[in-house]
Amino acid sequence: ACSSRFVLSQVHPMWQEPLAIPGGNRQSPIDIAVRNSIFDPHLRPLVAKYDPRTCQQIWNNGYSFLVEYDDTMDKSTLSGGPLEDRYRLCQFHFHWGENNAWGSEHTVDHRLYPAELHLVHWNADRYSLFEEAVMEENGLAVIGVFLKVGKRHEGLQKLVDALPAVRHRDSMVEFTKFDPSCLLPSNMEEYWTYAGSLTTPPLTEAVCWIILKQPIEVSHDQLAVFRSLLFTSAEEEVQKSMVNNFRSQQPLKGRTVRSSFS
């Protein structure tokens, strides 16, 4: 699995923004101002080919819960879209709020969603390890999918049922045969893409962000289980609910957001 062993538990969930950020002119997340995005006819549909057999475990890293994949071979890959190379899936995770009014990291014309899914991939054509890619420009490609409250998401339920087992920070359980394709919306043609960064430390400016226009629907109760997770470990006497684990929006600094649709 990718080395998302970067243990965020040293940073408080509403962690203090560092003063100096490497570069600092392509930080994420951002607001996507639809009318300012530029239609690029060369942008192709995204091609996500995931093998559920590469799914390994879920863990609570003190910031979110990550579902980690075996990325030692080219088995679960992302290509197409704005990407020149083939990227390997290493993990997916979510960001959410304490209620349904907010929780996403990106916004569309300042519209907030109750949660956002991130599927993290690294450029396996150019690098041999995730750790290398995470320090390189466009070493990573992250797909962002907005979640909205509606009907129950059957595919998500297997994941929701596993969450009580990783309630506390640093807990981990085996989790296998999960195909993350079930969390993607049907429309993989319409997205926005821009050059950005990780939204958690080390905030490296290595990410080609691909934000899908079509949200997925999950039920209120499914989101409530996300909020039953804890930032804190089993040993800590004061337990803190894992909610509002999103970063504040960052300045665009002259960047262009491209759209695959007009």
- Among 118, 121, 168, 169, indicate the residue that binds ligand IW7 (CB under 6 A): 118
- Among 37, 200, 245, 260, indicate the residue that binds ligand IW7 (CB under 6 A): 200
Of 108, 175, 196, 198, the C-alpha closest to 148 is 108
- Among 1, 4, 69, 192, indicate the residue that binds ligand IW7 (CB under 6 A): 4
Q: Does residue number 242 form part of the binding site for ligand IW7 (CB under 6 A)?
A: no
Q: Which stretch binds ligand IW7 (CB under 6 A): 2-10, 11-19, 30-38, 253-261?
A: 2-10
R_g over Cα of the chain: 17
- Among 26, 88, 118, 168, indicate the residue that binds Zn ion (CB under 5 A): 118
Nearer to ligand IW7 by Cβ, of 8 and 195: the residue is 8
Q: State the greatest distance between any 2 C-alpha atoms of the chain, in Å, as a whole number.
A: 55
Which listed option, Zn ion, ligand IW7, none, makes contact with residue 2 (CB within 5 to 8 Å by class)?
ligand IW7
Interior/surface letters 155-187, b for 16+ CB within 10 angstroms, e for the rest: ebeebbebbeebbbbebbeebeebbbeebbeee
| Torsions phi, psi for 171 (to 5 deg) | -90, 150
Contacting residues for 42 by C-beta, under 8 A, at least 6 apart: none
Under the rule (CB under 6 A), what is the footprint of ligand IW7? Answer: 2-4, 6, 8, 61, 63, 66, 91, 93, 118, 120, 131, 134, 142, 198-200, 202
